[in-house]
Amino acid sequence: MGRVENKVAIITGAASGLGLATAKRLAEEGAKVIMADINAESGPAEAAKIEGAVFVKHDVTSEQAWEALVDNVVSDYGTLDILLNCAGIVQLASIEDTSEELWRKINAVGTDGTFFGCKHALRVMKQQASGSIINMCSTASIQGGPNIFAYAASKSAIRGMTKSIACLSTQQGYGVRCNSVHPGNMSTPMLDAMYNIVLEYDPETAAEMDKMWVGNPVDVANMVLFLASDESVSVNGAAMVVDNTATITEGAVPRHG
Ligand SMILES: NC(=O)c1ccc[n+]([C@@H]2O[C@H](COP(=O)([O-])OP(=O)(O)OC[C@H]3O[C@@H](n4cnc5c(N)ncnc54)[C@H](O)[C@@H]3O)[C@@H](O)[C@H]2O)c1
């Protein structure tokens, strides 16, 4: 019997990185996983490798798309037990260099996408009187950083909405839990792309990044698995950090820590 046996999970951003690692881990533990991602090129092939998973093309920035996705999943599977809001984009810029366009782009995927996902999952989960919503945040919402303005703001908004949903659910007796996960640097295509840009424009900072601890996506997937399972029944409104002390040591952790 798996740790999330027969639970039905939607994972956004599941075509790559942390979302993909979590799709694999939840499926290994018996969940039926709907891998929702805007990337319909690699997504279907990744889903085909995972027993118990299917790919659905989904743009998290559209509330209409969310309404349809959640309703289709409930109609096809009879339930929605787990939602992981993992889709996200990052672009390095300080407040001084952040245009309205960049601000809206990052917030459309992170903030709006998570808001719509939570809203529609809650709508069906409260009727079932059960469900676990997990929102992928970042240590950026704890530490900030000079050149990660819009991203840190978006992750902080997600952290706040997570706590609000958890409090509402407890107050109203909905039986739905909502928690956030805050990874430090994890080895994914997103981190690789960010590192390459830093290396090009700011080799000194890239050298600092070289010294930092970098985690494995499965470490985050295991945290999500715990929050998705009934093992975490008393964990609600929590911000779970997965960073091997990076936030409390300001990132100065040797790579081999
Ligand atoms: N990698 C890290 O070090 C790290 C650290 C902290 C937090 N995070 C967060 O974890 C999440 C996953 O990051 P990752 O490193 O796996 O990145 P990634 O780039 O490997 O994967 C992100 C996925 O999101 C999808 N996506 C982007 N826009 C979308 C949209 N509009 N609708 C649906 N899907 C969309 C992409 O297609 C991609 O598959 C993000 O929210 C990110 O901010 C990552």
Q: Are 246 and 205 in contact (CB under 8 A)?
A: no
pLDDT of residue 117: 99
Q: Which residues of 189-228 are buried (b: 16+ CB within 10 A; e: fewer)?
A: ebbeebbeebeeeeeeeeeebeebbbbebebbbbbbbbbb
pLDDT above 90: percentage of residues in the chain: 91
- Structural domains in the chain, sorted by start: 8-242 (3.40.50.720)
Largest CA distance in the chain: 53
Rounded-to-integer distance, Cα 70 and Cα 66, Å: 6
pLDDT at 89 over 70: yes
Residue nearest to atom 21 of ligand 1 (CA): 16
pLDDT of residue 201: 87
**Cα(87) to centroid(ligand 1), Å:** 4
pLDDT in tens, 150-160: 999 999 999 99
Q: What is the mean pLDDT of residues 239-251?
A: 89
Rounded-to-integer distance, Cα 132 and Cα 185, Å: 25
Rounded-to-integer distance, Cα 185 and Cα 175, Å: 33
pLDDT of residue 205: 87
pLDDT in tens, 191-217: 999 999 999 988 998 998 898 889 999
Q: What is the mean pLDDT of residues 216-245?
A: 98
Residues in the chain, total? 257
pLDDT at 4 over 50: yes
Q: Which tokens in the block code for residue 119? A: 């809203």
Q: Which atom of ligand 1 is nearest to the CA of 43?
A: 39
pLDDT of residue 133: 99
Q: Which atom of ligand 1 is nearest to the CA of 39?
A: 37
**Cα(172) to centroid(ligand 1), Å:** 32
pLDDT of residue 249: 86
Residue nearest to atom 8 of ligand 1 (CA): 138
pLDDT above 70: percentage of residues in the chain: 97
Q: What is the mean pLDDT of residues 106-134?
A: 98
Within 6 A (CB) of ligand 1 lie: 12-13, 15-19, 37-39, 58-61, 86-90, 109, 136, 138, 183, 185-186, 188-191
CA angle, 57 as apex, 139 and 38 as ends, to 5°?
45
Q: What's the chain's average pLDDT? A: 96
Rounded-to-integer distance, Cα 102 and Cα 105, Å: 5
pLDDT at 256 over 60: no
Q: What is the mean pLDDT of residues 79-102?
A: 98
Sequence-distant (≥ 6) Cβ neighbours of residue 216 within 8 angstroms: 186, 187
pLDDT of residue 180: 98
pLDDT of residue 257: 43
> Does the annotation mark 195 as catalytic?
no
pLDDT at 255 over 60: no
